[in-house]
Amino acid sequence: MKKPIITLFILLFVFLSISAQEKLLTLQDAIYMNRDIYPASIPQLQWIGDSDQYAFAKENAIYKVTAKRGTETLLFDLDMLNTGMIAGGDDSLKRLPRINLYKDDAGYFKSGNTYYEYNFRIHELKKITQVPDTAGNIEFNRPSSNVAFTIKNNLFYTKDGEVKQITFEDDPGIVCGQTVHRNEFGITGGIFWSPNGSKLAFYRKDETMVTDYPLVDVSKRIGTVENTKYPMAGETSEQVTLGVYDLANDITIYMKTDEPKDLYLTSVTWGPEEKYIYIGILNRDQNHLKLNQYDTSIGILVKTLFEEMHPKYVEPETPMYFLPENPNQFIWLSERDGYNHLYLHDSDGALLKQLTNGKWAVTEFLGFFGKETVWFSGTKENPLQNDIYSVNLTSGEIVRVSQDNGTHRANISKSGKYILDSYSSTDVSREVKLLNNKGKTVRVVKEDQNPLVEYNMGETTISTLKAEDGTDLYYRLIKPINFDESKKYPAIVYVYGGPHAQLVTDSWLGGGGLFLNYLAQQGFVVITLDNRGSANRGRDFEQAIFRNAGDVEVKDQMVGVNYLKSLPFVDPERIGVDGWSYGGFLTIMMMLKNPDVFKVGVAGGPVTDWKYYEVMYGERYMDTPQDNPEGYENASLINKIDRLDGKLMIIQGTMDPTVVWQQSLVFLQEAITKQKQVDYFVFPGHGHNMRGIDRAYLYEKIAIYFKENL
């Protein structure tokens, strides 16, 4: 009698499971307009000061948890903050602000233009400082509680509530305190506080000699021109210097970085004693780096610590990291042995030891936590993973702290005893664990909950193929939902393929995101392959594209395409390709070099000729048009347009300051000349990508194009 009941129960369970997975993604889902399908996170998860207590936000309150025992108690809530706000004559907060708990008993936050500090031990709120409404590029120095910022092209700071102006540049072509070199070399800003806040270093960028490039704003009745400085490859570039302002003496000294003027100033680092500042001086060819020490009181070069050279290029992307316990030593990240690794130097530049080595990459320096210990993340276990490690400075012992396979992000306590590990994998959407420094799980802070459990998703697999030289190439393949191996499906190749990007990872959805899964739900097989030239596989893997963009990348991508064509469930007559930016360039190049293979292509913001691209990125990978005319000719899409044989849609933002509108317009002009039909769609007023609800429109445009033509 029990057997039929068990069978009935199993059938009912299977029916309910199938029914629960009938939901399909929408285009709004693909841009995460529906927060319910986003992997769960813990708001404001952080360590409290130097303690082994961590905090998180919940329901407009901050709670603290002791790492050892897991005891959770209320630290403070919105009402407590508002009591202080109202007492100080300020408007109450409508929601809990983002609070940096930088002390054991206090944190600071910004509301409007005002910085506040809240002492949660005595429940006291006080104003720290305030910046003007027009302030940008704001940098807060915690030790001094001073704030530096820019207004238009000049630099200012506040001290004791008083605003002081540091630079007085009248020419808008001279910009102080802002990012330089078009954000290459890891540069994200132009303001550098000294450790204790007594001095302020800043970039001064002279763009007066750089050609104005017109961006047209059509939002007004009569369109207006917004000029931007855009130095194209081989043309005159910006000139950058580094100034140091002494707050006590109200004087600025510019470091004498010498001729030529179009050098790149990278890796800006303050010495611990605040007397010296260090600058990585990179020549315009980007193949010779000098790490220089300057005396900030007089601006002169003290010494060159060391030099790095490579016949192709050197790419410094991080500052120096001085040891807290020994300020006469520092950590330097370099690819000098072929992979990004940690090197320990003394303050004179002498190499003391290489801390990490092997055919894998350090992806991020995480910091010094605990004595004699350096923390970093890297790909030591697997090129698809990003794990957390520590290395002992004396013994050189490396400990893998994150034990679960996947892509990890670490938040380490000041003592180095505990790690908050947030990770995802192909099987885990997001989970947060508290680990000790040996990698043992103390507790699961947030368990994984699959936000797509009710959705019908295509099967994702990750594997490798061999490039023509035997190199492993990782790919991700997503099958359509309700897959039927007897059918013949159309396929889409999604490509990026350029430096600084890795698309296939051991992370949630394999790194594929929701739009590619949406396309799989529409009945497409979707494949992505990381070709030579992409990130985290070592220097030689990336430098394979040097001086000849669009060659080896296409060869590697075609390995993936040939694999697709070999699959019995893929229709080889219905293969499309889609990509953006560098991926847009490769989309068109793949179509032009293989006109008999691709039926449809969508290229967003594509580089069509590298001579129209900017100096810093373009010259690193292609040299100048003057020095490498053959490479530029081979990489040009414009001179190959007569090979186009398929449906191609180009998408462009009209205000794109990265891949300027001229790139696609010149391609269109040549298409007209050669009588080649190209579909074209512009997003008025958008830059290099589409944001917000317009991104859903973009995705719909792409999906419709493939459905109608593929």
162-165/174-176 β-pairing: unpaired
The answer to whether 419 touches 437, Cβ cutoff 8 Å, is: yes
Six token digits for residue 688: 């290099």
- Rounded Cα distance between 180 and 340, Å, is 24
In the numeric block, which tokens belong to residue 622?
A: 């292609």
Contacts of 672 (CB under 8 A, 6+ apart): none
| Helix 513-521 with 693-709: angle, nearest 10 deg | 40
SS3 at position 230: coil
Q: Kindly state the DSSP code that residue 188 receives in the 8-state scheme.
A: -
Question: Quick one: CA dihedral 368, 370, 371, 376, positive or negative?
Answer: negative
DSSP state letter for 77: E
Q: Is the peptide bond before 260 cis (omega within 30 degrees of 0)?
A: yes
Tokens (6 digits) for 311: 């016949």
Longest dimension (CA), the chain: 95
Is 656 annotated as catalytic?
A: yes
Phi, psi for residue 402 in degrees, rounded to 5: -85, 120
Counts of helices then strands in the chain (DSSP H, E) = 11, 42
Instruction: Please pick, among 288, 310, 500, 688, the residue that the annotation labels catalytic.
Output: 688
Closest CA to 495 of 480, 479, 473: 473
Which residue, among 689, 644, 688, has the nearest Cα to 668 in the 3D structure? 644
In this structure, the number of other CB atoms found within 10 A of the CB of residue 677 comes to 9
Q: Which candidate, 383, 360, 363, places its Cα nearest to that of 375?
A: 363
Helix (H) or strand (E) holding 66: strand 61-66
Catalytic annotation present for 688 = yes
d(CA 612, CA 607): 8
Q: Bridge-partner residues for 10, per DSSP?
A: none
Q: 41: which 2 tokens?
A: 């996170």
Residue 341 annotated as catalytic: no
Strands (E), 416-559: 418-424, 431-436, 441-446, 460-466, 472-478, 489-495, 525-529
Return the structure tokens found at 108. 């600071």
* Angle made by CA atoms 401, 407, 409, in degrees to the nearest 5: 65
Those residues whose C-beta lies under 8 Å from the C-beta of residue 224, and which sit 6 or more positions away, are 216, 217
C-alpha pair distances (Å), 105 with each of 110, 240, 597, 698 = 18, 41, 64, 47
Calculate ∠ Cα 72-75-78, nearest 5°: 125
Give the C-alpha separation, 662 to 532, whole Å: 28
Gap between the Cα atoms of 153 and 136, Å rounded: 10
**Contact partners, residue 630, CB within 8 Å, separation at least 6:** none
Distance (Å, whole) CA 132 – CA 660: 33
Please tell me which residue in 144, 581, 636, 664 is annotated as part of the active site.
581
Residue where the block lists tokens 């704003």: 217
Residue reference for tokens 């080896």: 552
**C-alpha angle 281/283/287, rounded to 5°?**
105
Say which of 194, 402, 656, 664 is annotated catalytic: 656
Query: Token pair for residue 455?
Result: 């959705």
Q: Give whole-number Cα distances, 9 to 3, 13, 16, 51, 453, in Å.
A: 10, 6, 10, 52, 21
Quote the CA–CA distance of 604 and 664 in Å, as a whole number.
10
Active site residues: 581, 656, 688
